[in-house]
Chains A and B, each alone.
Chain A
Amino acid sequence: MKKLISAPYLVWMAVFVVVPLIMVAYFAFFANGHFTLDYVANVSQYANIFIRSIWLAAIATVICLIISYPVAVILTEADANYQGTLLMIVMLPMWMNFLLRTYAWMTILGNNGILNQLFGLFGLGPFKLLNTRGAVVLGMVYNYLPFMLLPIYNVMAKIDRSVLEAAQDLGCNRGRVIAKVVFPLSLPGVMSGITMVFVPAISTFIISRMLGGGGNLLIGDLIEMQFLGNSYNPNLGAAISLVLMIIVLLIMTLMNQFDADDRPLI
């Protein structure tokens, strides 16, 4: 009976997860039916792009965390009747199309954009804001912030209020309650937030293309070029994807290791 119920799910997994993975691996190691390590070896040429992608995605993830955590604390401390409304206000920009949102930043950051016009009023600038790494990080933070905030908020909202009162009862002021109880209990949310921001950020190609100009290519751009661009090379594209996947898996395993350090999280 149980097997029957899970059957559609297993079929779905097989068709849309396992098969594509096998295909990626196949293209990475086989060209014209022959096994080769050339493509995987070639990936090392793009080490600088890998490092840049990891670096920018990591910065964006950290900024998302720094912004989201206090916001989540404030949200959970707010009157229960307003929490929904507050959350909606935070999420509102997400209802706009992803491309549109990113285009908007182009017009804000451009040389003749709103910000530079504003600086111009004070006789400053124009500054080069668009087509910089900073702009790429900004785009990542702006687009992926909710993916950090939501899991943290969800975990935090589920913490039993009486546990926080117990901490107060035992001598903790507000700051210590957060440090000694809220933070350790919210770690699962932080961990999934980090994953949900870092993974799309490291593989994005639209944000870097639109806000980073030509000089700030990320892995996502590189992969896209192998499949759709003029440097058409699906084998190399598959090899890069595979390496990226392994790097992400390694980083996530490392994070979880550090998280599972001394205590079982419930």
Chain B
Amino acid sequence: MKKNIISLKNICVSFDGERILDNINLDIRDKEFVTLLGPSGCGKTTMLRVIGGFLTPDSGAVQFEERDIKAVPPHKRNVNTVFQRYALFPHLNVYDNIAFGLKVKKLPENEINRKVKEMLALVNLSGFEKRSVNRLSGGQQQRVAIARALVNEPKILLLDEPLGALDLKLRKEMQIELKRMQQRLEITFIYVTHDQEEALTMSDTVVVMNNGVIQQIGSPVDIYNEPKNAFVADFIGESNILDGLMVRDRLVTISGKTFVCVDYGFGENTPVDVVIRPEDITIIPPDGEHIAGVVKSVTFKGVHYEMLIEAYDHDWLVHSTKASAVDRTVGLSFGPDDIHIMRKTEG
């Protein structure tokens, strides 16, 4: 088990009386790729600012390798940041932007030169040394920002939605590239995104946040397969979230019908949230036993058809490789493993 490189203990931050981070506890292990995932405005950037030292939390502790670093200013932290809108130095060219941190550290000129050249090659910008950063495309600025941070070989790299401005194809390429760099350079990455797919493909650990509260911490597979509550289930991929009643252990009522499931420990006759993934549902002829509904729409999505099926208290989203005819009545079949039971969140 690797040791923790960063620990956040009971971090609270408020702006204008509003809680932005609410009692955040998070341990990040050395060389881990951790992603903070959540909707816009949930406090992801604020959390990075706390780690980077730009914001002092109202309460709680930030530890670096088990030592409190609350009093350490940003320029003395062994952390570098790729800022949300790059924040490149507009008065410097590409080379000087990347060399900035090394020059501040007063490295010898030839060493700076070597490292910058290496970095430029790594981010595919060789030959752009003299270019003004104002005349670069979004993707190129992005890569300069990454190079400017990485060249300092920090222990931890903070990346705030670094691929947000890129088109889909370049984003996919950069995702793979970043993941490769992280593994090769053995740096801890704390990566912020609101794109759940990006989080799932790149991370060792995903931290799902909402309204300044951590909802769930886990591996991408855990987060996807075992969402802890309706918010996580809804945010990670498309889901059917239904009101259910836990009759007793391993027995749940949904839409007036009772199903066997694998969850237990919710008590008897407890209202719960039930999540069923669209791809876990199979369309069958109506048989009276399963939930039945009318097909309202069918959309071709490339790999599968997306169907909206209206049952009596819920519109179900179903993914299937076979299309049903609109207005036909169908049955919805799913197994005990496909039913995910969650406690209702307050509010």
A residues adjacent to B (C-beta < 8 A): 160, 162-163, 165-173, 176, 180-181, 184-185, 263-266
Q: Does B83 count as interface, using CB distance less than 8 angstroms?
A: yes
Q: Which of A163, A172, A185, A263 contacts B104 (CB 8 A)?
A: A172
B74 CB within 8 Å of chain A: yes
Give the complex CA separation of A184 and B52 in angstroms. 25
Q: Which B residues are closer than 8 A to A by beta carbons?
A: 52, 54, 73-75, 79-81, 83-85, 87-93, 100-101, 104-105, 132, 134, 148-149, 152
Q: Which 4 A-B pairs have the closest CB atoms?
A: A170-B101, A162-B87, A171-B104, A166-B87
Interchain CB contact (< 8 A) of A167 among B90, B100, B132: B100
- Across-interface contacts of B104 in A (CB, < 8 A): 170-172, 176, 180
| Set of chain B residues within 8 Å of A163, measured between Cβ atoms | 87-90
CB distance from A80 to the nearest CB of B (A): 13
Question: Nearest Cβ in chain A — how far from B84, in angstroms?
Answer: 8
* Smallest beta-carbon distance B25→chain A, Å: 25
Residues of A within 8 A of B134 (CB): 264, 266
Does B91 lie within 8 Å of A168, measured CB to CB? no
Give Cα A233–Cα B322 distance, bound, in whole angstroms: 100
Residue among A163, A165, A170, A180 facing the most chain B CB atoms (10 A cut-off): A170
Kindly identify which residue among A165, A172, A185 contacts B83, using a CB–CB cutoff of 8 Å: A165
B48 CB to closest chain A CB, in angstroms? 11
Q: Which of A160, A165, A180, A184 contacts B74 (CB 8 A)?
A: A165
Indicate which residue in B75, B91, B93 contacts A169 across the interface (CB closer than 8 Å).
B75
Does the CB pair B87–A160 fall under 8 Å?
yes
Q: Closest A-chain residue to B85, C-beta based? A: A162
Chain B: CB-nearest residue to A265? B91
Do residues B89 and A169 form an inter-chain contact, with CB atoms below 8 A? no
Chain A residue with Cβ nearest B83 = A162
CB neighbours (8 Å) of A160 from chain B are: 87
The answer to whether B75 and A166 touch across the interface, beta carbons within 8 angstroms, is: no
Contact A263 B91 (CB under 8 A): yes
Interface centre among B75, B93, B134 (most CB of A within 10 A): B75
**Are A181 and B75 interface neighbours, CB within 8 A?**
no
Determine which of A168, A171, A173, A181 lies in contact with B89 in the assembled complex, contact meaning CB atoms within 8 Å: A181
Please report whether the interface of chain A is mostly helix, strand, loop or mixed according to DSSP.
Answer: helix
Give A191 Cβ to nearest chain B Cβ, in Å: 14
A181 to B103, CA, bound (A): 13
Q: Which residues of the other chain, B, contact A165 by a CB distance below 8 angstroms?
A: 52, 54, 74, 81, 83, 87
The winner among A169, A172, A264 for most chain B CB atoms within 10 A is A169
In whole angstroms, what is the CA distance A169 to B93 when docked?
Answer: 19
Query: Least Cβ distance of A165 to chain B in Å?
Result: 6
User: In the complex where A171-B105, A173-B75 touch, is A266 in contact with B54 (Cβ < 8 A)?
Assistant: no
Residues of chain B within 8 A of A162, CB atoms compared: 83-85, 87
B80 neighbours in A (Cβ, 8 Å): 169-170
Chain B residue contacts of A263, Cβ below 8 A: 91-93
* Nearest CB in chain B to that of A263: its residue: B91
A-B contact pairs, 21 of them (CB 8 A): A160-B87, A165-B83, A166-B89, A167-B100, A168-B73, A168-B75, A169-B79, A169-B80, A169-B149, A170-B75, A170-B149, A171-B75, A171-B104, A171-B105, A173-B73, A176-B104, A180-B100, A180-B104, A263-B92, A264-B134, A266-B91
Complex Cα gap A160–B133 (Å): 15
Once the chains bind, are B91 and A185 in contact (CB under 8 Å)?
yes
For residue B75, which residues in chain A have a CB less than 8 angstroms away from its CB?
168-173
CB distance from A178 to the nearest CB of B (A): 13
Residues of A within 8 A of B152 (CB): 170-171
B90 touches A171 (CB 8 A): no
Distance (whole angstroms) from the CB of B89 to the closest CB of chain A: 6
B-side contacts of A185, CB under 8 Å: 90-91
Distance in angstroms from B197 CB to nearest chain A CB is: 27
Bound form: Cα–Cα A169–B85 in Å? 15
Knowing A165-B74, A166-B81, A170-B100 are in contact, say whether A266-B90 is a contact too (CB < 8 A).
yes
Q: Which of A171, A181, A184 contacts B101 (CB 8 A)?
A: A171
Which residue of chain A is the closest to B91 with respect to CB atoms? A184
Q: How far is the CA of A167 from the CA of B54 in the complex (A)?
A: 12
Bound-state CA distance A264–B75 (Å) is 28
What residues on B are CB-neighbors of A173 within 8 Å? 73, 75
Q: Which residue of B lies closest to A166 (CB)?
A: B87
